[in-house]
Amino acid sequence: MKKVLVCKEKDERETRVALIPDDIKKLVSMGFEFKVVSGAGLKSGFSDEAYKTAGASIVAKEEDAYDDSEIIVRIMKPESIDGIKKDTLHLSYMDPFNEKELLNKFAAQGIQAVSLEMIPRSTLAQKMDVQSSQTSLAGYVAVVNAAAKLPKILPMMVTPAGTINPARVFIIGVGVAGLQAIATAKRLGARVDAFDTRPVVEEQVKSLGASFVKIDLGEMGQTAQGYAKELTPEQIAKQKEAQAKVCEKANIVITTAKVFGRKAPRLIEKNVLDRMMPGSIVVDMACSTGGNVEGSKLFENVVTENGVTIMSGDLLERQVPYDASKMFSGNITAFLTHAGFYNKEAKEFNVNMEDDIMKGCLLTQGGQIIHERFKA
């Protein structure tokens, strides 16, 4: 398998492209062949001409290239898979826990579907982890967006007219997005507090110059994939009240508790928003999965009666499409050239089910759903 089709995203709000010209040039030298849908990279800053120079052919629409493609790559899950031939390897975000019908269609058509979200969070697979690369950028953008909306500056400033105290930023959830949000807020001069249900991240928070908010929730930990374990109702109530006291003093609050495959936990409710200062900003990075913040709306900003702005924080990486595409493309390139899949001598890509990475992310094969978590 070496004939690859790079699709143009159908959602008008999507700005990224799955592979950039520099990586295609590298992959062409390794034996891969590419077709790219015209305009696929324009919103990210990559022209059709740049793809041609890299060695790709340009096609008017993806359907025109299905018959001559063995691997199809895109960012978001497809709107339709009609026309994709049997045994094609399809790589994209899949949202598999909520898209059982789409999985069944992939299986029925004999398409081999890879869910990029399901790539194992292991050291070996780290360079392929689109979740981490994209949410890291989103954490950065969340802080920049909030700072632009906040009616005060972030750093401390001493002037002849008086001293301006630094803004206070509270980050709830110290995963990849949270760590980048902490680092960004610190670089901009804010005073940063952070909380996570996993005590193990305290040292990471402190290493970035932020303060770790300690809340005794009893026994806690993380899953084998590195996600926080689900809290009991009693632990959630205790966490909410402790967080509320920090939120009252914060100018910016960013919630990052978006857990793949589960509804987002509600961390900030109306009674907490009512206690916050007018003009303060809350960025909810889990709007699409139910929201961490009561009243948040996907792709919309909401202003409460007391003047708190709740900003939508989902898919913020789309606001920096050049770098987001570059990182996503690097992840895909790492996947296609992984030693477990790519044969250097033959210059061929193979779907190797003996490899743990492929076992973790390939959902359909041979006309059926093969991943244990999604079998009926």
Predicted pLDDT of residue 94: 94
Of 1-10, 23-32, 212-221, 301-310, the range with the lowest mean pLDDT is 212-221
pLDDT at 206 over 90: yes
State both tokens at 150.
């906040």
Predicted pLDDT of residue 215: 80
Predicted pLDDT of residue 1: 84
Say yes or no: domain 2-118+338-368 is CATH 3.30.479.10: no
Percentage with pLDDT > 90 across the chain = 84
pTM of the predicted structure, to 2 decimals = 0.91
Q: How many whole angstroms separate alpha carbon 265 and alpha carbon 75?
A: 26
Average pLDDT over residues 273-286: 96
pLDDT at 352 over 90: yes
Q: Using pLDDT thresholds of 50, 70 and 90, give the confidence band for residue 225.
A: low
Instruction: Work out the number of other CB atoms within 10 angstroms of the CB of residue 181.
Output: 35
Q: Based on DSSP, count helices (H) and strands (E) in the chain, helices before strands.
A: 10, 19
Predicted pLDDT of residue 133: 96
Q: How many whole angstroms separate alpha carbon 297 and alpha carbon 311?
A: 8
* Residue 375 vs residue 191, higher pLDDT: 191
State both tokens at 56.
């790709």
Amino acid type, 131: Q
Residue 138 gets the label, from left (phi > 0), alpha (psi -120 to 50) or beta, of alpha
Q: Using pLDDT thresholds of 50, 70 and 90, give the confidence band for residue 214.
A: confident
Active site (catalytic) residues: 121, 126, 129, 132, 227
pLDDT in tens, 319-340: 999 999 999 999 999 999 999 9
pLDDT at 376 over 70: no
Architecture label for domain 137-319: 3-Layer(aba) Sandwich (3.40)
| Number of residues assigned to the chain | 376
Amino acid type, 191: R
Predicted pLDDT of residue 62: 96
Residue 83 gets the label, from left (phi > 0), alpha (psi -120 to 50) or beta, of left
- Which of 72, 78, 66, 65 shows the shortest CA–CA distance to 112? 72
pLDDT in tens, 189-203: 999 999 998 888 999
- DSSP one-letter code for 138: H
Inter-helix orientation angle 130-149/176-187, to 10°: 40
Of 46-50, 110-114, 217-221, 318-322, the range with the lowest mean pLDDT is 217-221
User: Taking the domains of the chain in order of start, what are their residue ranges?
Assistant: 2-118+338-368, 137-319
Average pLDDT over residues 123-152: 96
Average pLDDT over residues 287-306: 94
Q: Using pLDDT thresholds of 50, 70 and 90, give the confidence band for residue 241.
A: confident
Predicted pLDDT of residue 22: 98
What are the C-alpha distances in Å from 362 to residues 17, 238, 246?
Answer: 21, 39, 43
Q: Using pLDDT thresholds of 50, 70 and 90, give the confidence band for residue 224.
A: low
pLDDT at 223 over 90: no
